[in-house]
Chain A
Amino acid sequence: GENVEQHPSTLSVQEGDSAVIKCTYSDSASNYFPWYKQELGKRPQLIIDIRSNVGEKKDQRIAVTLNKTAKHFSLHITETQPEDSAVYFCAASTVRADGLTFGKGTHLIIQP
C-alpha cells in the first residue's frame, strides 16, 4: 500500500517569513495530493490540492509543487501570519477513490 512521509514534524518560523513542508510518497499509482490544515479539536480543512497532470498550483499565499518522477510534493506558505499556526497534513490518493493516506503531520508555529 501507499506510504507517505512528511517532514519536518515541527516547523517554527517568524511571522512574515515563508514556510515549506515536504512529503514523499511510494505508490506510483497515486495521482491526487491534497494538503489539510487542522486546528486543535477540529476537522481537517482542505487548503490546496494538486493532481498528477499538474506540476504546480497556487492560491494566494499558498502553493503546492509536485515532482512525479521523484515522488515528492511540497507545500509553500508565504508571508506567514499567526492564524497559519496549526497542524498540516499532506496526503495521497489514487484514481480508485480508495481513501487518503496521510503523512504524520507538521506542527507549524508562527512566532510573532
Chain B
Amino acid sequence: DAMVIQNPRYQVTQFGKPVTLSCSQTLNHNVMYWYQQKSSQAPKLLFHYYDKDFNNEADTPDNFQSRRPNTSFCFLDIRSPGLGDAAMYLCATSQDSTPGEQFFGPGTRLTVL
C-alpha cells in the first residue's frame, strides 16, 4: 500500500544532542512537509520541499534543518534540541496537481531529557 512512513516512532535524546528524524513515502508525491505538534496544540508547519526547492516558514527556528536527497525521503535535523522541542513531528506529502490534500505519516514522538 502507498503510504508515508516515519522512523523512529519514538525518539529520546539529550538536551543539546543532535537528532535526525526520517520520513519516506511511496506515493511519489512531489511536495513533502514537516509539522511540529506540541501537546494539546495544532500542528504547525516548519518547512516544506516543493520538489527540490526548500521553503522555510518565517518563524521556524534556525535549530531546525531539513534535507531531501530524493523524491522518496526527507529528513528533519534538530541541531541542538532544547526542552521546548519535545513534540510530535509529523511528515506529510501532497501532489501539486491536487493542491492542499495532504497525507500524514504516523509521526515521531520526540522526548528531550
Residues of A within 8 A of B (CB): 1, 31-32, 34, 41-46, 49, 51, 89, 93-105
Q: Which residue of A lies closest to B94 (CB)?
A: A97
Q: Does chain A have a CB within 8 A of B79? A: no
Contact residues on B (Cβ < 8 Å of other chain), bracket: 20 to 34
Q: Does chain A have a CB within 8 A of B102? A: yes
A102 / chain B contacts, CB cutoff of 8 Å: 42-44
Give bound CA distance, A89 to B35, whole Å.
Answer: 14
Shortest CB distance A49–B (Å) = 7
A89 / chain B contacts, CB cutoff of 8 Å: 42-43
Give bound CA distance, A94 to B57, whole Å.
Answer: 15
Question: Would A99 and B48 count as touching, CB distance under 8 A?
Answer: yes
> Given known contacts A42-B107, A100-B102, A105-B41, what 18 new A-B pairs fall within 8 Å (CB)?
A32-B101, A34-B100, A44-B43, A44-B90, A46-B101, A46-B102, A49-B100, A49-B101, A93-B99, A93-B100, A94-B99, A94-B100, A97-B94, A98-B55, A99-B33, A101-B45, A102-B42, A104-B41
Question: Residue B107 contacts which of A1, A32, A43 (CB distance < 8 angstroms)?
Answer: A43
Question: Would A97 and B96 count as touching, CB distance under 8 A?
Answer: yes
Shortest CB distance A4–B (Å) = 9
Residues of B within 8 A of A (CB): 31, 33, 35, 41-45, 48, 50, 55, 57-58, 90, 94, 96, 99-102, 104-107, 109
Shortest CB distance B6–A (Å) = 9
A32 / chain B contacts, CB cutoff of 8 Å: 99-101
A44 / chain B contacts, CB cutoff of 8 Å: 43, 90, 104
B106 / chain A contacts, CB cutoff of 8 Å: 42-43
Give bound CA distance, A109 to B90, whole Å.
Answer: 25
Give bound CA distance, A96 to B107, whole Å.
Answer: 24
A97 / chain B contacts, CB cutoff of 8 Å: 31, 48, 50, 94, 96, 99-100
4 smallest CB-CB distances across A and B, nearest first, come from: A32-B100, A102-B42, A93-B100, A99-B45
A31 / chain B contacts, CB cutoff of 8 Å: 100
The answer to whether A96 and B99 touch (CB under 8 A), given A42-B106, A43-B105, A102-B42, is: yes
